[in-house]
Structure 1
Amino acid sequence: MKISYDEKYDTMYIKLIDEPVECRTLQLSEDVALNIGPNEKLVGIEILDAKQVIGHGKVPSVVLDNLKQAVA
């Protein structure tokens, strides 16, 4: 999983699948869209105006809770 934030455009993208796949977009609201891949698998989440939508007016913070670090 990869979480990217673009400060210039105030957008956040949460990429759940690393491999490139063809997706369709399901618009949940004006600011939130889901990218759905084959077999209805969630590939990613796009959030526009991220400071307001999930950051309460600030750059959103990310907290990883109860995840064990993968060994490479």
Structure 2
Amino acid sequence: IRGRADVLLRQISLKFGETPEERRKQVMSAGKAELDAWTDAVLMTRNIDDVFDNKTPFVMIDRPRLFKS
């Protein structure tokens, strides 16, 4: 789980800048299911608060589709 948390914190920092200490603690104390959900969310949200907000759907970033079905 520690590895998942480290990857998520790196993704957050790369996308949004410095991670607030409150969010860092939240990530480090999270379980696998939360980390998985947040790792997906960080790719699809426009701000750090939306990553952790489980009540609202992800705000999709406009991006080209890489794979066509």
TM-score, normalising length: structure 1 = 0.25
Please state which structure has a larger fraction of its residues in helix. Answer: 2
RCO (CA 8 Å, sep 6+): is it higher in 1 or 2? 2
Please state which structure has a larger fraction of its residues in strand. Answer: 1
TM-score, normalising length: structure 2 = 0.26
